[in-house]
A and B are shown apart, each in its own frame.
Chain A
């Protein structure tokens, strides 16, 4: 149980185009989803917190107009990288939070590797 999927797993696009990444919780409902970006040396940076039915909360330094997040339902959140540039090339990972017996647990998706040419 508690599987999170991401689509696509890998995308290559030209500079200036927009790319949409989907994050789905397959067998549970997630009121909150998180979007991370993986940097060199494996560190993960939290980009934003996405709550179903409301606007995402972005971390300091993350451009909300560039990284559009939509949490349309309890099982789907999307991250759109608008006007992508080579410096946006990275590994983007989402996670979904489910509250069980008062303890919050995050389940991570497999990531999406974005390459901007």
Chain B
């Protein structure tokens, strides 16, 4: 059965800390791995990863995929209170998207 598991489920850190969010998957016909940030309404797209070992960066956020380990990490450096959100990992296998349950990140001022 296809599944996407995120850890930790929730995380509380202080502003300025660096956090690493994990996503592991067992999915057949893998096409890509997606990271989203969800605050109020629709999840905001962050990254799409298809190739192993190539880091994608956007400001203080970065992510990398390890196809051998069937996992991905999302790093956020110098966290800010605005980074507080639920971070979703999803794996696209073309005929369906399988979402993880998310990591709830809370940044304390």
Binding site for B on A (CB under 8 A): 2, 9-10, 36, 38, 41-46, 59, 91, 93, 103, 105-108, 110-111, 113
Contact = CB atoms under 8 A, between A and B. Distances in A.
Contact of B45 (A2, A41, A59, A110): A41
A110 B95 CA distance: 8
Contact of B48 (A9, A42, A45, A108): A42
Chain B interface mostly: strand
Nearest to A37: B42
A107 B101 contact: yes
Contact of A103 (B38, B95, B104): B104
Interface residues of B, number: 21
Given A41-B45, A45-B42, A110 B101 contact: no
Interface in B73-108: 86, 88, 90, 92, 95-99, 101-102, 104
Given A110-B97, A113-B95, A43 B41 contact: no
A41 B32 CA distance: 12
Contact of A105 (B41, B92, B96, B102): B102
Given A41-B45, A108-B97, A111-B96, 7 more contacts: A9-B96, A41-B48, A42-B92, A59-B41, A106-B102, A108-B99, A110-B97
